[in-house]
Structure 1
Amino acid sequence: MSTSGPLTPERILEAAEETLRRFGPAKTSVVDVARALGVSHGSVYRHFPTKADLRDAVVDRWLERMHPALAEIADSAGDSVERVRLLLWTLAETKWTRAQDDPEFFAAFAELAEEARTPVVAHIDFVVEQLTKVIVEGVARGEIAAADPKTTALAVFDAMAKFHNPATRAEWARPAIDESFANVWALLRDGLLPR
């Protein structure tokens, strides 16, 4: 990577992703990122004051790439229960695909995500907010029974953690992961439906 154009946070994050992909989190330093950009490490620190800030920004950027698709599902029309399922499926399938298509970076991301509390919490809050929005609508339309939609959304998110939490990524390669998702979803769906 060369220094064409101004040094922006976006360019730094692209270089950081590539460096993490090549060396992994343990062996990647701010100096490595700066070297990939052809700048001094001080230039990188002007945008990201600490190595932790840079790592958090990489995790945040990676997670936020999923948000438009999830928000689109939450904002769409149609059956609320099916939209909850589709939101959870999209979250899981996106992570499965990324883990398979770019295993080096996904492994680096998973390691960083364990340390990067702020971006991970913001991502969880975003997903739970989307689920809550759909559940509130479902309750209003009589399609979902939930006394407290936000608590229900968080419970649904937590119940499906095996399918979207990077810490469980070894299970995603199992041949029956789709069937497992469907089975857990069937239990959740039955719990969401009005009696």
Structure 2
Amino acid sequence: MTATPPAPAARRRRRSAAETQAEILARAEELFRSAGYAKTSIADIAASLGMSPANVFKHFPSKMALGDAIGAIHLGLIEQALTAIPTALPPAERLRRFGETLLAGHLRNMEGNPYVFDLVVQGLETEAEEIRAFHAWLSGAVRSIVEAGMADGSFAVADAATTARVVLNCLEGVTHPLLLRQLDQPALAQRLAEMLDFLIAALRKPLDK
């Protein structure tokens, strides 16, 4: 009796570049969390995934680029939280929530994910593309709040773009990651509340020229 030949092995589905990148990012984040960014090499990440370092470099040209990408993921979570602020709120309340949510997001990373916070700081210091994109998004989001206040008459300003830039610059004086380690949380919260009170009052009745 002729033996039945074994069935051919199922061919492994080829992963897309996006899937491979996501896998590399997830494993790199895991290793950075456990061993630290400085002590983790591209070779370590590649070995843990069963791939060559060259394959990792094909998707991320350097460890710094990999770190910037992970920092961008967590900045994206802050962006999601800011996007979730209801647009039906009065513009002044939206601006207050915006500042509070931005500060809370950075503080969460500083305390719960310090290595991620360090990656964000690294991106700020090197002016990474991901950081610039996040700042551009923040600028647009603040401008939309200012424009809503202009539309309903609650903000007495004439130039939305300039006003939004000034407002964001003021907020960064309290929420910028490079400054957060210098004050404790109660002091930060008080400084932010005072800054928002001043900004909202100025938007409602601009200072005389």
**TM-score w.r.t. length of structure 1:** 0.85
1:55 & 1:107 partners in 2: Cα distance? 9
Using CA pairs below 8 Å that are at least 6 residues apart, which structure has the higher relative contact order? 1
Counterpart residue identity of residue 74, structure 2: W
Name which of structure 1's ranges 30-39 and 107-116 shifts more when overlaid on structure 2.
Answer: 107-116
1:79 lines up with 2:90 in the alignment = yes
Q: Does 1:177 align with 2:188?
A: yes
Which has the greater radius of gyration?
2
Q: Is the 8 A contact 2:91 2:149 kept in 1?
A: yes
Do the aligned partners of 2:91 and 2:145 also contact (CA within 8 Å) in 1? yes
Q: Deviations over 1:132-168 (max 9, x none)?
A: 1111111011011222112211211111213321111
Match of 1:189 among 187, 196, 200: 200
1:111 and 2:111 aligned: no
Q: CA RMSD in A?
A: 2.2
Residue 133 and residue 184 in structure 1: after superposition, are their counterparts in 2 closer, same or farther (change >3 A)? same
Query: Is structure 2 residue 163 aligned with structure 1 residue 152?
Result: yes
Q: Which runs of 5+ in 1 are unaligned?
A: none
**Counterpart of 1:51 in structure 2: which amino acid?**
K
Taking structure 1 as reference, are residues 44 and 148 closer, same or farther at Cα in structure 2, changes over 3 Å only?
Answer: same
Structure 1 residue 103: Cα displacement = 2.3
- Is 1:69 aligned to residue 69 of structure 2? no
User: Which residues of 2 match residues 1-195 of structure 1 at below 5 A?
Assistant: 6=15, 8-73=20-85, 76-194=87-205
Q: How many residues align?
A: 190
> Quick one: distance in 2 between partners of 1:26 and 1:87?
33
Indicate conservation of the 8 Å contact 1:142/1:194, yes or no. no
In terms of mean alpha carbon deviation, does 105-114 or 131-140 score higher? 105-114
Look up the SS of the partner of 1:49 in the other structure: coil
Point out the more displaced range, 173-182 or 134-143: 173-182
Aligned to 1:120, the other structure's residue is in SS state: helix
TM-score by length of structure 2 reads: 0.80
C-alpha contact 2:68 2:120 (8 A) present in aligned 1 = no
